[in-house]
């Protein structure tokens, strides 16, 4: 087991290594609904999953959606294109030429929120994202940064689709 107990006359030892000694834990679902309060559990942990004190900051950005919906590509993105983008779009208008159908490549239009919360190592903390209840439907970029009391930091970027009250 993970604590080094003897199992079948063998000792199992787990050593976790990494370049960052902290993790920020804020699970952003792939889809959020603005018709109800958005509360997400938040924590900062060390590499062994033990909670530690620090601050979590969350920046939320609205993204500009593509001009039209793309069909799912039935082939992998080529590493070299044989057609230039104009020729490709003319012949395959329902498919993305490169990665323009991926939220990671959408243009940021504006910052929606900048939230900072102090996180403890003894209680369960919740991050309130009520600001999203007033936002339009669409894709959003969520950048989460965690910093512990020793100054160690890490960040994670996630993307979510918001089904908002505005069109």
* pLDDT at residue 4 greater than cutoff 70: no
Give strand pairing partners of 105: none
Would you give the distance in Å from CA 100 to the centre of its chain?
18
Integer Cα distance of 59 and 65 in angstroms: 19
Q: Give pLDDT tens digits for 14-25.
A: 555 555 688 888
Q: Which contacts (CB < 8 Å, 24+ apart) does range 94-99 have?
A: 94/70, 95/70, 95/71, 96/66, 96/70
Give the pLDDT of residue 150: 87
Mean pLDDT of 24-43: 88
Q: Give pLDDT tens digits for 65-111.
A: 888 788 887 888 888 888 888 998 898 888 888 888 888 989 999 99
């Amino acid at each position: 087991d993970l604590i080094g107990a003897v199992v079948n006359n063998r000792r199992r030892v787990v050593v976790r290594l990494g370049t960052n000694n902290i993790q920020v834990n804020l699970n952003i679902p792939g889809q959020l609904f603005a018709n109800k309060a958005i509360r997400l559990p938040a924590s900062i942990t060390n590499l062994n999953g033990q909670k530690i004190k620090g601050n979590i900051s969350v920046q939320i950005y609205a993204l500009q959606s593509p001009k039209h919906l793309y069909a799912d590509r039935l082939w992998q993105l080529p590493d070299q294109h044989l057609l230039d983008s104009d020729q490709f779009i003319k012949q395959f208008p329902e498919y993305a030429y490169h990665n323009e159908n991926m939220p990671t490549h959408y243009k940021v239009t504006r910052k929606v929120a900048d939230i900072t919360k102090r996180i403890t190592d003894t209680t369960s903390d919740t991050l309130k994202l009520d600001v999203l209840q007033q936002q339009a439907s669409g894709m959003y970029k969520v950048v989460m940064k965690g910093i512990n009391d020793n100054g160690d930091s890490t960040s994670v970027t996630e993307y979510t689709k918001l089904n908002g009250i505005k069109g």
